[in-house]
Amino acid sequence: MTDSLRKSSGIVVLVLFALVVNAAAQTVKGSVEVKIDSVLAADTNQGCDKQLSTLRDRLRRLFHYSTYRLVQHEEGHTGFGQTVTFTLPGGRILHIEPVGMDGDMIRLEVMLFQGEEPMMTTDLKIMNGGTFMVGGPRYERGTLIISIKPIAPASVEMAPETSKAAAAVEGPPPPATAVVAPIAPGQDH
């Protein structure tokens, strides 16, 4: 009875170890790290948050506010063809799905929701490690600017690409204005 239990335990441990090693290998091969900064922009003459020093010049050039404050920073990991979800200030939900690679460019599908209502849906390409910004949703006494930075390992191996149709928003245009502003790698947060 004890020998049988030892053998069973050993097999279970071996199977679990193999599953963990396999999952870790898959995560490294096709994983994309996504960094999100939620920035409150307003005209309150309070300057720029020190945590945003690497984005300060670009924020001022693109959005023309006198105050920029980091409200929230989040990081997540996902694989190609899989969505990572972020909960943003004001109850907004951000879905990021890395679709594939084109040389040094990462192809992404980005969807921003207010509750279940889509505010913005876009497909784009960005340099691996670069940053783009989406600005426009009202938040508190200003505007929420969302900085998105996807990073894929240099030698990424992806699963075969699946084609997806971009979601369409019916009805009047969404209330948010989107500004996509790429930032070269090394110049951002």
Query: Cα–Cα–Cα angle for 164, 169, 172, nearest 5°?
Result: 160
Residue 102's beta-bridge partner residues?
105
Q: Which residues of the chain have pLDDT under 70?
A: 1-29, 155-189
Q: What is the pLDDT of residue 21?
A: 36
The Cα 11–Cα 23 span in angstroms is 18
Query: How far apart are alpha carbons 155 and 112 in whole angstroms?
Result: 29
- Which residue, chain included where needed, has tokens 């096709």? 30
CA distance 81 to 143: 31
What is the structure's pLDDT at 6?
A: 52
pLDDT at 96: 97
3-state DSSP call for residue 152?
coil
Predicted local distance difference test score (pLDDT) of residue 4: 57
DSSP state of 183: B
Handedness of CA 114, 115, 117, 122 (dihedral sign): positive
- Which residue shows structure tokens 């245009």? 173
- Return the pLDDT at 164: 35
> How many other C-beta atoms lie within 10 A of the C-beta of residue 107?
17
pLDDT of residue 158: 46
pLDDT given for residue 10 in this prediction: 46
Q: Per residue in 41-55, pLDDT tens? A: 999 999 999 999 889
Amino acid 100: pLDDT: 95
First-to-last C-alpha distance (Å) of the chain? 59
The pTM (predicted TM-score) of the whole model is 0.68
